[in-house]
Each structure stands twice: as structure tokens, then as C-alpha cells.
Structure 1
Amino acid sequence: MHSRINNILNPKIYFSFLFLFVYLNVFDFTAGQPVRYLGIENGLSNNAVTSLYQDQYSFMWMGTYDGLNRYDSDEFKVYRNEWNNNKPLPYNYISALNIIFCPLIL
């Protein structure tokens, strides 16, 4: 009985099960959609994304140091504070997104 408890508490067995548990969870997580890197070369206004939101239309909204970006799984549309824009943002630095901002810009 004592040796059975020692076998269960054996660090090698414990860490083997822990590794297997973590490995299977990571494998399950990565089995879904592939992860894609999106940056300025894809049309993002700035690589420093400060906030992220997905709306009811599946648009991904990204706030950056250089404006608000809407991604539709193909391309980015960038909204900035520009003098010739009839619906400008108050600032180009977006630190947080709220659901109220997105429908007003669509």
C-alpha cells in the first residue's frame, strides 16, 4: 500500500501526466483555425495594436497608435483623424474600443 502511494506521488509520473495533459490541450487548441500574422504589410495602420474587438458582423476592429482599423478577413479599412474626412476620429491613438464606436463608423 505504501509503495503504491509512493508510485502515484513519484515526480516522474506526476510530471509525465502533467506534460501529457498540457500537450493534449495545446494540440486541441491549435487544431482549429490557423493563426495568421497581420501587420503593416497587410494594410494595418500600425503594428502596435492597443485594443481588439469583434463585432456582430464578424469584423475585427483594431485600435492602434495610428487610427482605427477594420479587418474583414481579406483587407483592412483604416479610419484616421484627417482634416479632409467628413467623419474624422477625434484622435489617431486608440487606447480602447467600445461597442458604441463601431456601428457609428460602418
Structure 2
Amino acid sequence: MYGTDLTDKDYVFITVNLEPISSNCISKMFNALKKKHKSERFSAHILRHTFVSIHTTEGTAVTTVAKIVGDTPEMVMRAYAHSLADEELKATQVLSSLIKFE
């Protein structure tokens, strides 16, 4: 959670034997994926950004998304408001398509 101090036992990634893996292992994994898919733009940050963008676009409550990614709702809105702007445009277009002036 945002603002929570983590301890050495608070691991995000573990092995199949439930042992913590090193941050070096994560870097190697991302580098292997970049090489395999011939993509320089691939990182944990991009996965996080994609996760939050998809959820906000699909209407998941900002408070829920913020809790999952360990941010405050305000931080999520500030960083990902562009995802919601597209939905706002669609909403106005729906209304415009329903109103016909002759």
C-alpha cells in the first residue's frame, strides 16, 4: 500500500519453492522478453501503466485501482487521467448521436 514501509519479508516475486528471487532475476527476465520480441520498450513500469490504464478505461473504481497498485486515488488520477479523457469524449459522442436537429 502507498505510504507503507516494507520489510525484508515483504516479497513481490518468489520462486516455485517460495523463496524470494533477486531483482537481478527480474531484470534478466525483462531483457530476455525484450530480445525475444525485439522490443526496447518493455518494462515493469510499462506493465503497471498498462494495467492501470486498462482498468480505469474499463470503469474500475479509481480507489480500487489505487489500492491494488499501492497509490492514492489522487496519484492515479494525476498520472492516468488521459485514459479517462478518452471515455469522456466517447460519452459526449453518444449523447450527440442521440440528439438530432432538423
- Please classify the TM superposition score into its range, dividing by the shorter chain length: under 0.3
Structure with greater contact order relative to length (CA < 8 Å, sep ≥ 6): 2
Structure label with greater radius of gyration: 1
What TM-score comes out, normalization by structure 2 length?
A: 0.24
What TM-score comes out, normalization by structure 1 length?
A: 0.23
Structure with the bigger percentage of strand: 1
Structure with the bigger percentage of helix: 2
